[in-house]
Amino acid sequence: MTEVSSLTGRLLVATPALADPNFDRAVVLLLDHDEEGSLGVVLNRPTPVDVNDILEGWGDLAGEPGVVFQGGPVSLDSALGVAVVPGGASGEGGPLGWRRVRGAIGLVDLEAPPQLLASALGSLRIFAGYAGWGPGQLEDELVDGAWYVVESEPGDVSSPCPERLWREVLRRQRGELAMVATYPDDPSLN
């Protein structure tokens, strides 16, 4: 098997050609990517469910909007917490209950008491479910042109307007990729 270059911590941005409705204009933060497969969460799919309705105590730490996000089509009955820890990019270990993914972005242990992390977190999002790919599956989708791979920024995790994240992430890219941000929702209406 060929060696997989890790994309952990980077964003997958759905191309207009991606036909899967689960990922239409999706922005996925990859939490893990290696030869065994890939796992990420969709950053721009808020649900109407308040965080406190499913995880008592965590709602006070969740950024606006304080709702659960649909992290992907897999295991919608499970929850993942992704948080930015200010200063977490400096290489120190980070607070108990937080595991670095990349830079200041990391996973939160939702079994830990929320007050253990309250003073350390800069922003927090709770995701129901995740997006997952088996070995080589994501690489095949990349070859097929389904995703753009771009660098993540800590603000992507806590975007106050998640419905605009797809365009915002593309707009900050250089060259032709920035032009894709202007791609119409329905090209047939052009």
Quote the CA–CA distance of 5 and 55 in Å, as a whole number: 35
Confidence of residue 180 (pLDDT cuts 50, 70, 90): confident
Q: Is the pTM of this model over 0.85?
A: yes
Span 94-103, pLDDT tens digits:
888 999 999 9
Q: Is the pLDDT of residue 45 over 50?
A: yes
Q: What is the pLDDT of residue 1?
A: 35
Q: Averaged over 82-93, what is the pLDDT?
A: 77
Residue 78 vs residues 12, 75, 110, 150: alpha-carbon distances, Å: 22, 6, 11, 27
Q: Is the pLDDT of residue 165 over 80?
A: yes
Q: Averaged over 48-59, what is the pLDDT?
A: 95
Quote the CA–CA distance of 97 and 129 in Å, as a whole number: 20
- Upper half-sphere CA count for residue 163 (Cβ side, 13 Å): 3
Q: Which two tokens stand for residue 74?
A: 């897999």
Q: Which helix (H) or strand (E) is 27 found in, with range?
A: strand 27-34
Q: Is the pLDDT of residue 3 over 60?
A: no
